[in-house]
Amino acid sequence: AQSVTQLDSQVPVFEEAPVELRCNYSSSVSVYLFWYVQYPNQGLQLLLKYLSGSTLVKGINGFEAEFNKSQTSFHLRKPSVHISDTAEYFCAVSAISGSARQLTFGSGTQLTVLP
C-alpha cells in the first residue's frame, strides 16, 4: 500500500517569487511519482512525472521536481510564479508493478499567487 502526504494545504506567494510545494510518500513497493494540477472548474492535468533516471524532472509551465529516495520526497518547485499558476496541486504515486496501477493522491496544496 502507498500513502502520500502533502505538508502544506495552502501556500500563498507573491508573483515572481519562488515556490516549493512539499510531498512525501511511503510505499512498500517501488513507485512512480507524479504531480497533477487542477485549475478552477477543470480536470486534473499532469505537470510532470518521475519514472527513472535523473532525479530532477522538468515539467510544463516551468515547474520541476526532485526525487529524493532517501527522504522519500518529491517536492515541486518553480523559480518564479505567475498569477496564472494559482491552482490546486496534487502529488501522486502509482506502483511500478501491478495490473491497473491506480494513482494514490495526497490531499492537495492550494497555491495562491498574489499580485
Partner 1 sequence: EPEVTQTPSHQVTQMGQEVILRCVPISNHLYFYWYRQILGQKVEFLVSFYNNEISEKSEIFDDQFSVERPDGSNFTLKIRSTKLEDSAMYFCASKRTSGGTDTQYFGPGTRLTVL
Footprint on this chain of partner 1 (rule: CB under 8 A)? 4, 32, 36, 41-46, 49, 51, 90, 92, 94-108
User: Considering the complex, what minimum distance in angstroms separates the CB of residue 52 from partner 1?
Assistant: 9
Cβ proximity to partner 1, 14 vs 58, nearer residue: 58
User: Considering the complex, what minimum distance in angstroms separates the CB of residue 112 from partner 1?
Assistant: 17
- Distance (Å) of CA 35 to CA 47, 57, 114: 5, 11, 22
Alpha-carbon distance of 79 to 72, in angstroms, equals 22
User: Considering the complex, what minimum distance in angstroms separates the CB of residue 32 from partner 1?
Assistant: 5
What is residue 61's three-state secondary structure?
helix
Grid cell, residue 93, equals 504515486
